[in-house]
Structure 1
């Protein structure tokens, strides 16, 4: 098979190698702008990663449901519990002492994952804007920033705050902080960045899904993509 008109031959071969040529099913019907948008999306996809995440496990039972396959693909890490604090000195106490040293040296930052909406709370804004203060209806964002500032004062050093948003929450979150003067946090210590996305994939076939003829369906890549998002945003 050969690449459709004006589509790069080498990239088409990549699609063929990973059984994803269906992404070009409507290519001939697209205008120039739509072709450019679809091409740009395809060029950003790590097809090897997609295949690695969704290739069926040979040891898995063939009657697995899509939900079971998804759970297996995202199985959580083993829980590591803290020791009994009655014994001394415990590993947790050693870690606390080391953490305090790093705070005092100004070598600690904090990350807040804030890509979610408050829809399950009946709140049509970013979840961090939800008023949870019992008296003053203080927002979750404000409470978290005030806790961070208090810890920075104790340490005598600023703590940089990295807030990971999503396409759904970014603009409103940034505007909310600006309206409230960052709740007293210096703008030099505050960074906003968007979490990444990954193509939506059919759990049965492993094929990437199209949302529109010229647009690949995507979903946030979750907390696991945080470090990559930091790197991609130059942080």
Structure 2
């Protein structure tokens, strides 16, 4: 059964004071307490009320209208919208870290199995972008960045900064354009995870094997050879 009581002060104290990280911390907290393993009206309303409170205190984080708490379906849709926006913010932050903080290790050799999955996702993302009813100039820029990453995938060593630039571009829209791109962005998050797995796999393969330790002969062995 999900929890139907308020969070304790010590639980809330673990939330980061930074608005964006604090939102992620809070969502994990309400998800584990109120949303995991089924929900009730009370648990849904409690989860949403904490999220609403955080977002009203930090109005520059997300542009999502709060629910009116008139039905469980309405509140569940609000929670799903917040979950999606958090995933988008996370992907964007990780893309920025890839560009700004990982330039020395941004080129990796991706296994062909991962490449096949990534190519398939690129095709699906391109279709969703084509379907999106957004400004043609914006759409052209997004496709241009996606194509740049698609070209990198075909190289022996892939520049992950190309993926970072694409993610920043497609997640940088707000308002109506952002909503119309949601199907594409959901696929982008799947692709980002595939690339992260491929990167981790490549780094593990590249690690040198541990050097064999020099084995000393047991005491007494080899004695008397020079006698």
Compute the TM-score of the two structures, normalised by the length of structure 2: 0.24
Structure number with larger C-alpha Rg: 2
More strand by share: 1
Compute the TM-score of the two structures, normalised by the length of structure 1: 0.24
More helix by share: 2
